[in-house]
Amino acid sequence: MDKQQIQYRHEWKHEISYSDLLAIRSRLKAVALPDPHAADGKYLIRSIYFDNLRDKALREKVDGVNRREKFRIRFYNMDTSFISLEKKSRVNGLGTKYSARLTLEEARKIADGDLDWMMGSGRPLVEELYCKMVSQGLRPRTIVDYTREPYVYAPGNVRVTFDYDIRTGLMNTGFLDPEIVTVPAGDAGIILEVKWDNFLPSIIKDCVQTPGRRVTAFSKYAQCRIYD
């Protein structure tokens, strides 16, 4: 389905050091499971984020707007046989995500500005993106690459991830090309993310404690906009 039943989730983000990663990983492995979809415990994520000439998505993030959304096209491990269009929404500090499958050809058409087919796609999220590309001027804007190391814990539907080696592309036109060159996104470090539904089990809360670190509004998209 293109739009799932709305389930808003809680989220923590911390920027951590390599020594923090080693300590938290060790504790997590005693209680949580590696994501079964991750080959060798990790995977590469490539996304292209949408914004307009007024940097609507970027400004809403930086300014901490209470109700905001952003669109992206995403695939994993440079495998373009499974591509998804995603919209992330955030309200009162809680987040949710909608997604729809795209074919490689459809993703290319969106990147090339060939949009007329979108309104007849039969996928509400694709049609919503079309309307906002027309009305708000949204366009593919910035490539975001990173490696993700994910862990899951069933009670609370908890997902803990380490994201690192964050990179960006100086041009967005070739984001579907696995050979396109990306570069480090400034001094971006390691991002610990913790997401859960209605409650965060104390055993996971204890595992991810990082004394002296504070919850941060770090945005990989904003970090990857440093060159434009």
Question: For each of the chain's 228 residues, which pLDDT tens digit applies?
Answer: 344 456 789 998 888 999 999 999 999 999 999 998 888 899 999 999 999 999 898 888 877 788 889 999 999 999 999 999 999 998 888 889 999 999 999 999 999 999 999 999 999 999 999 999 999 999 999 999 999 999 999 999 999 999 999 999 866 668 999 888 898 887 878 999 999 999 999 999 999 988 776 666 678 888 888 766
DSSP 51-101: E-TT-HHHHHHHTT-SEEEEEEEEEETTEEEEEEEEEEEEETTEEEEEEEE
Report how far residue 32's alpha carbon sits from residue 15's, in angstroms, rounded to the nearest whole number.
Answer: 21
Report how far residue 70's alpha carbon sits from residue 129's, in angstroms, rounded to the nearest whole number.
Answer: 10
Residue labelled with tokens 């990306």: 182
pLDDT at 153: 97
Tell the CATH superfamily of the 10-223 domain: VTC, catalytic tunnel domain (3.20.100.30)
pLDDT at 225: 80
Quick one: DSSP state of residue 226?
T
Report how far residue 185's alpha carbon sits from residue 43's, in angstroms, rounded to the nearest whole number.
Answer: 18
pLDDT at 63: 79
**pTM for the predicted model, two decimal places:** 0.89
User: What contacts 124, CB < 8 A, 6 or more positions away?
Assistant: 2, 3, 100
Nearest of 21, 73, 82, 68 to residue 207 by alpha carbon? 21
Q: Do 227 and 166 meet the contact criterion of CB atoms below 8 Å apart?
A: no
